[in-house]
Structure 1
Amino acid sequence: MFRTCNRLGLARDKCAGWNICPFPTEGKNPSRAELERARPYTMRVLELLPKLTVVLLLGNPAQKGWESRFLRRRPDVEVILGASPSPPGINQKRNREDFESAIRRAVSVVERT
């Protein structure tokens, strides 16, 4: 993922990776209870990033885990949805293009600030 970000102009020192559930989950995707348990950790990370301008939500679990409750706390942050960088999905052309498009949009937000 970070190689693709770098290739598309998003320098590693301008981004931080974070899983919506920063701990092992029971299944492939986090449950609602796991997302709720993860929420305080995500909120704490957001507090540690006062200059945050954009959040990339890559994949359905991240998008479902984020939900609008986070947006209300950081209206100054642009949220961009994209495909997950994980295989096997990323190996499909449409998903790869969607992922790269999300990265390009994030680059444009970072460059504006």
Structure 2
Amino acid sequence: MAAELTPVESYENDKSWVLDRKRARLHEPHVAPVVALADRIAAERRLGPGAVPYPDPDHAGTRARVLFVLSHPGAAAPDTRFLSLGNPDSSAWLCLQHCLRTGLPLDAITHWNAVPFPIRGKTPSDSEKRQGAPWLRRLVDLLPDLDIVCLLGAPARDAWPLAFPTTSRYRVIIGPSPGPPRINHRGVKEELAATFDEAAAAWRARVG
């Protein structure tokens, strides 16, 4: 039997058994409701299981205090079938490094996409964002301990008021997308770092 890795170690090792271990845990109570939601979205859009990425069981799932909302499934998602900081792409790695730097624990956070299903173009259309918004609200309904929402990028900023047209009880923090090409613009990396600083500070204030 392969030795267990810590969440951070698993992100630093390209081992197929790491993904197998994660997939074997998708029934666990903290992720199973989100897995069911992802499968429901996929079924309604006539997509196969995993086309809407699953939550990483090494993250908080329904126990999340902090939710990061991104744009749409990235290039790595079809291969791993996870929305995870362990995915082999630059956006995930950058966000992981900021979590480690700020002390924001992986078991306090979860992720979702403003448009949770695969999109037709390079960026989500207005129609796709409208279609994604009800699913964002249903995801939030599964997170009873949620305090802080980080909207990373324009699609997330656009989708949030569609999902919550009136004031919500959550602390909402707005930041840039961690993905290219936006992240390569002048000052954007610093803006993203400040977003994680604010999220970690807010989380520490809430948990004491």
* Fold-level similarity (TM above 0.5): yes
State the 4+ residue runs in structure 1 displaced beyond 6 angstroms.
Answer: none
Alignment of 1:4 onto 2:101: no
Deviation for aligned residue 1:109: 1.1
Residue 25 (str. 1) matches residue 119 (str. 2): yes
In structure 1, what is the equivalent of residue 202 of structure 2? Answer: 109
Counterparts of 1:53 and 1:88, CA distance in 2: 30
Alpha-carbon separation, structure 2, partners of 1:92 and 1:32: 24
Which consecutive residues of structure 2, in runs of 5 or more, have no partner in the other structure? Answer: 1-94
Higher helix content, 1 or 2: 1
State the shift of 1:93 in Å.
Answer: 4.5
Shift of 1:96: 0.4
Alignment match, 1:94: 187
Q: Percent identity?
A: 36
Q: Give the structure, 1 or 2, with the largest relative contact order (CA under 8 Å, sep 6 or more).
A: 1
TM-score with structure 2 setting the length: 0.50
| Residue 201 (structure 2) pairs with residue 77 (structure 1) | no
Cα distance between partner residues in 2 of 1:39 and 1:93: 30
Aligned positions of 1:48-59 closer than 5 A: 48-59=142-153
* TM-score normalised by structure 1 residue count: 0.88
Change in Cα spacing, 1:93 to 1:10, as seen in structure 2 (3 Å) is farther
RMSD: 1.7
Higher Rg of the two aligned structures: 2
> Unaligned 5+ residue runs, structure 1?
none
Equivalenced residues, count = 112
